[in-house]
Chains A and B, each alone.
Chain A
Amino acid sequence: MIITENLTKIFRDKKRGEVRAVDGIDFQCFPGQIYGLLGANGAGKTTTLRLLATILQPTSGTARVAGYDLNTQPEMVRRNIGFLSTATALYGRLTARETVEYFGRLGGQNGSALAERIEEIFDLLGIQEFASRRCDKLSTGMKQKVSIARTLVNDPDVMILDEPTVGLDVMTSRTIVRFIKDCRSRGKTVILSTHVMSEAEKLCDTIGIIHAGKLLAEGSLEELRGKTGLDDLEEIFIRTVGLTE
């Protein structure tokens, strides 16, 4: 479960002055559902997700992630989330197994329980054959699988995925999509960001359209269609964003 309350992030930039990257956003994501933040580049998607993952601290407002407050319990939040983006790379000099083991240990697991958990995930994702290879020797697809294994090892309740399929080939991106759907069916709360309309259309139970740091519209695809009287998500998006321009 994710509940944001007036979540705001302001950057101070020498050239541009004050930038309201996330401007008082309120939304809720529920377990067993996929919430999609749809927005153009620079709309504030990544900053929102970084705030939820406690990588950045909100300027004002807050959010409760898996029942913990971002500002007061950031470590408990981190313990209960899996964060994945194209920017979350792996340690190249560690093997796949060492990588997943490291994050498992940081999550408080150890010994045979951790080993079993890793075996289980590696079997599930087909990582076994390259488990002892160093991450910098893996293909992009293999790396993505290891990244998924990394987010899964502590079995978090909330998955935060920042443009998870950007720049991936068809096969790898299918692996990711399968993983996202799998999370939903296991009752996890999933929030993802995307600028790909078809992906939002296919995957998300709720879509939030974000532009210039503000959440402009929210609802299921049907609800958005009802509100705008348009059928195509791209049209809906342009209309929603364009109206405020």
Chain B
Amino acid sequence: MKLQQIGIVYRKELRDTLRDRRTLISMVVVPILLMPILIFGMATITIRLVEKARSEGSSVMLLGSEHAPELAVEIENHEGITVIPPAEDFVRRIENKDLRVAVEFPPGFESRLETGTDSSDLEVKIYHYEGELRSTFALRTMQSILRNYRDRVVEKRLKDRHLSTEILQPFQTVASNVASPEKVGGQLTGGLIPYLIIMLCLTGAMYPAIDLTAGEKERGTIETILASPVSRGALATGKFLTVLTASVSTAVLSLLSLGVTLRLAPLFVEIGSQKGKQLFQFAMSFSGVVAVFAMIIPLAVMFSAALLAIALLAKSYKEAQSYISPLMILVMLPSLVSILPGIELSRLLVWIPVLNVSLVSKDILSGTFQWDRIALIFLSSSVYAAGALWVAARAFQRESVLFRT
């Protein structure tokens, strides 16, 4: 009988929830659209920006070019570089992003190099804007021009002394990638995807959780249902299952959307750079997706139960939203940490909720399955989930919570 009641409550709440526009948007529209927008959008924008910065050409100011006439001509003739006349305010111009870099040659630069005397105190200064993309490009270009020039000077000096240039390179280094494209992609984007799915899991559950608790209080249906022939336990369970359904559907939809997006991405996006290619080569294995999904389930249970318990405290929709925003931040922080490069699962991190799932999902998506850790994390998040469920169940039994004045 009780199971039957739970079923009746669940079906009604689900129908009710699916007729709520806010829920539909957060549960269906957002997860389906977010992945393609993010992946197509971010990738294309990044690639375009990088390419635009490259093709646009860099404005370079040469200070003391009279000391380096040969190099000055070379820089001027270099593709993508526009040399502008020297001016006093070059620092301000770089800061204002009107000028990419300024190169300062010391007095007697080329003539001293020519004579071959000790010139190790010669310093060519490149003024740039640290962290600014286009300034960094210009810096790199200038560095490479100067390096080539230096190599030529070295070569000439060696020749003058009748030595071969080979003595400078007794051996070569070759970098060879052994990680599969899956793993490379996993490292590049793997941190972001679990983060997004975890956040969607939470936001997908948020509106139904508020609607089914504080919403009932606000609309005055709570008395109606509490005086009806249904046990509090069945009512709480039915509501919980509805919120869980919303949370899990959000996760499933976002995973599906992600899969389709990654499958279609190479067909639609013109990818110029190597980095872009790598981004899309990140193919997810089916087993990886299933495993991530399995890890997300206890998290979804925890979110649903916690959201219900918190929202039940509130008297109105608005109040519930203000109670829930700290929870959002609480979830956002650990899952954001997992995106940071270099963060890896450790013995301690296995026990930190949200972060553990986020990190293990990153591993799984890049094809690394550490079964002992996976089992431990599943266990620990199940324990947290059970705790949250217990709190929610208690809240539904308490008059002071149901009828807070």
Contacts and interface: CB of A to CB of B under 8 A. Distances in A.
Interface of A: 50, 53-57, 75, 78-79, 81, 83, 85, 87-94, 98, 102-103, 105-108, 150, 154, 160
B229 A75 contact: yes
Nearest to A85: B223
Contacts of A93: 16, 19-20
Interface in B185-235: 219-221, 223-224, 226-231
B403 interface: yes
B223 A88 contact: yes
Interface of B: 1, 5, 8-9, 12, 15-16, 19-20, 219-221, 223-224, 226-231, 399, 403
A107 B15 CA distance: 19
Contacts of B230: 78, 106
A92 B221 CA distance: 9
A160 to B, nearest CB: 8
B229 A90 contact: no
A102 B20 contact: no
Contact of B399 (A53, A56, A89): A56
A90 B221 CA distance: 6
B91 to A, nearest CB: 63
Contacts of B221: 88-91
B224 A88 contact: yes
Contacts of B224: 83, 88-90, 150
30 contacts: A50-B223, A54-B226, A55-B226, A55-B403, A56-B399, A78-B227, A79-B229, A83-B223, A83-B227, A83-B228, A85-B223, A87-B220, A88-B220, A88-B221, A88-B223, A88-B227, A89-B224, A90-B224, A94-B16, A98-B15, A102-B12, A105-B8, A106-B5, A106-B8, A106-B230, A107-B228, A107-B229, A108-B1, A150-B224, A154-B229
Contacts of B219: 89, 91-92
Contact of B12 (A57, A83, A94): A94
B403 A54 contact: no
B8 A102 contact: yes
* Max chain A C-beta neighbours (<10 A), residue from B1, B224, B403: B224
B226 A103 contact: no
A35 B10 CA distance: 37
Contacts of B9: 106
